[in-house]
Amino acid sequence: MPGAVFGAGAADWRAELARRVRGELVRDAPLAPRTAVRVGGSADLLVRPEDPDALAALLRAVRELGVPLTILGGGANTLVADAGVRGVVLRLPQGFGEERREGSRLVLGAGAPTTRLWIQAHAAGLVGVEFVAGIPGTLGGAVAMNAGTTLGEMKDVVTEVELATADGAGFVPAAALGFAYRTCRLPAGAVVTRLAVTLRPGDVAESARVMQEDRDRRRRTQPLDRPTFGSTFTNPPGDFAGRLIEAVGLKGYRVGNATWSDVHANFISNLGGATARDVLALMALARRKVKERFGLALETEVRLVGEFLAEELEALRGE
């Protein structure tokens, strides 16, 4: 159906994608249950391409039809707008992309949960991924966010990343992706489909012990009993966002059904039925107060996705 373009009739482009892309396509798919914090509206169309060919077809089709594309991993670090997301939200299936092991090099699929990294490493007698123990989400999301802890981060182990765009797919060296604290520079619209990690042989039992210790620490210091997206802001150099938020008196502060946690001040908890508006109000308040008191601009770690209101975003930016 040539001529079916985004916005020219929602039914048109969705029907066209359904014809061209093999996989699971869900219209008006609620996204809150697909995020860790359980907040936000629906995607016009949620697509899980069956395999790399189906992904290639999807990427070509959205480019051709002018449909906006949003990539969602496990939703562990994502806040979806109450009005939802226009266009396509792409999620890779767990088993997407062929896995391989060559000595101490593992190639893993980006749709797999982060646990896959240590499970496969340990099965091969390899260590060095202890940092990933308590980090929820997918391996694709972990690459995009350069996820990590004081024990290490993705950039320490990832050597190559397979990227798919409308122009094709292939591995690029990790060094080309500008990994930095909780971020990396992916080309616009590029989907991480696989990653190669190089690890070292070592004491797997000791590695498992370190990971268990980290999980126990999280249970003591993080509010894991309520939906959350983990750290809201990145830590400013030499300081902790949680310390700053606590210092301005917001620990335990509530707006609507969301609250700054009284366990870890950089975590927001959804008390049940929180809206993105509630969450953004908490974030804007913290940014404003920290800026006033310490002259520091907190940077958001959580990724905002979808149609937020201009005034909500302006309040967050402090305009």
Ligand X SMILES: Cc1cc2nc3c(=O)[nH]c(=O)nc-3n(C[C@H](O)[C@H](O)[C@H](O)COP(=O)(O)OP(=O)(O)OC[C@H]3O[C@@H](n4cnc5c(N)ncnc54)[C@H](O)[C@@H]3O)c2cc1C
User: Which residues belong to the active site?
Assistant: 182, 231, 301
- Nearest residue (CB) to ligand X, 106 versus 145: 145
What's the DSSP call for residue 203? Answer: -
Among candidate residues 95, 90, 84, the one with its CA nearest the CA of residue 46: 90
Q: C-beta of 167: minimal distance to ligand X in Å?
A: 16
DSSP 299: P
Nearest to 79 by CA among 36, 134, 111, 131: 36
Q: Minimal CA–CA distance to 13: which of 30, 1, 22?
A: 1
Interface contacts to ligand X, rule CB under 6 A? 36, 71-78, 92, 110, 135-138, 140-142, 144-145, 147-149, 182, 186, 191-192, 224, 228-230, 303
- Per DSSP, the three-state class of 136 is coil
Least Å distance, CB 292 to ligand X, is: 28
Which one, 30 or 294, has the nearer CB to ligand X? 30
| Residues 204, 259: Cα–Cα separation, whole Å | 39
Nearer to ligand X, 203 or 307 (CB): 307
Instruction: Using the minimum distance from each CB to ligand X, give the nearer residue, 12 or 223.
Output: 223
Is beta strand 191-198 parallel, antiparallel or unpaired with respect to 200-201? Answer: unpaired
Nearer to ligand X, 4 or 190 (CB): 190
| Residue with Cβ nearer ligand X (41 or 75) | 75
What is the closest distance, in whole angstroms, from the C-beta atom of residue 127 to ligand X in the complex? 19
Q: How many CB atoms lie within 10 A of CB 196?
A: 19
What is the DSSP track for 140-160?
HHHHHHT-EETTEEGGGTEEE
Q: Hey, which residues does 29 pair with through a beta bridge?
A: 43
Q: Helices (DSSP H) in the chain: which residue ranges?
A: 10-20, 52-65, 115-123, 139-145, 204-221, 241-247, 276-294, 310-317
- 32 closest CA partner among 41, 22, 23, 43: 41
Shortest approach of ligand X to residue 5 CB, angstroms?
24
d(CA 293, CA 171): 46
